Amino acid sequence: MLQSLPKHIRLKLDQTIAQWPQWNCEPVVTREPTIVKVLTSGISNFSILVESEQHFVIRIDGFKPSTFGLCRQTEWRTLQDAHNMGLTPRPCYFNPDLGSLVCDYLSPDVDQELEVTEVARLLHKIHRLPPRHHRLKLADRNRLYAKQMKLQGRSPSKVFQQYGEKVSAMLNDIAKHPGETVLCHNDLLRANRIYSAGKLWAIDWEYCAMASPWYDIAVIVNGDALTDHETEALLFAYLGRTPNDWERVTLHRYGCAYRYLELLYYKSLEKPILDALALEKKFAALEAMLELPLN
């Protein structure tokens, strides 16, 4: 699989490994790590498993983070805070010039069954992390993704433009009564939650920023396609009560915003990673949400 890595990614991987004496490990490693295998090799990032007395994951940027509104410095500082609270594996090394990040590797449990009450508890802890300067501004993120889409020579359909206008109106309504802003993961999908040694952890924090906790919840509800029963259980576990009308409307609006932004992201990539059928399903899900009444 190493042959599948682009040459410039392999060079950055080798340079990151060469910096192993600078890694903040516990226990301290005593020899240069060796490559075990490539975990993921895609458009956004490349993740490689390495070993030196213990296992680590090296992530190499596949694109310039600012292209999609990411802030690696915020991610690094948040990882340190989250690790101190026992929410994520230890961050060991960060080199923005190489676009590399090294973290402890968590061996996944066989059972990764969804437990919404544990997800709610994890969200609670994340939302108590220290605030950071970097903020998720969904309207700005939409414009950024739309710009990337245009650079790829892709034009949104008339219907998609209309849906974008509806989402913009929803974001304007949210801005009138925004509620609290907290440190959010903003991508806490099932793929970024892992049970290891019987404990639920959050990984892949690259989208972390100050945002509404309701957007964080909306990402999970919509990105993981939770059933109505699972959604109600998640909300009750997070709030300790049944959500009120404002909370339900806000969750719905953020759900629409998430689904629209997700589509923009996939359409803005230089190399499409979803086929036409998968994109159509996501488009249909957004369409259905936009047709639902807000109260």
| Residue 90: pLDDT over 80 | yes
pLDDT score recorded for residue 63: 84
- Please state the pTM of the whole predicted model: 0.94
Helix segments in 1-137, DSSP class H = 7-18, 72-84, 116-126
Model confidence at 42, pLDDT cuts 50, 70, 90, reads low
Handedness of CA 202, 206, 207, 210 (dihedral sign): positive
120 to each of 133, 213, 231, how far by Cα in Å? 25, 11, 11
Task: Please tell me whether residue 110 adopts helix, strand or coil conformation.
Answer: coil
Q: Model confidence over 231-290: pLDDT tens digits?
A: 999 999 999 999 999 999 999 999 999 999 999 998 888 776 777 888 889 999 999 999
Helix ranges (DSSP H) in the chain: 7-18, 72-84, 116-126, 138-151, 158-176, 213-223, 228-239, 245-268, 276-291
Kindly report, residue by residue over 72-88, the tens digit of the pLDDT.
999 999 999 999 999 99
Write down all domains in the chain, each with its CATH number in brackets.
Answer: 2-104 (3.30.200.20), 116-291 (3.90.1200.10)
Q: Give the span between the Cα atoms of 203 and 113, in whole angstroms.
A: 17
Handedness of CA 121, 247, 190, 89 (dihedral sign): negative
**In the numeric block, which tokens belong to residue 265?**
């992201």
Residue in this structure with the two tokens 């500082």, named with its chain if needed? 77
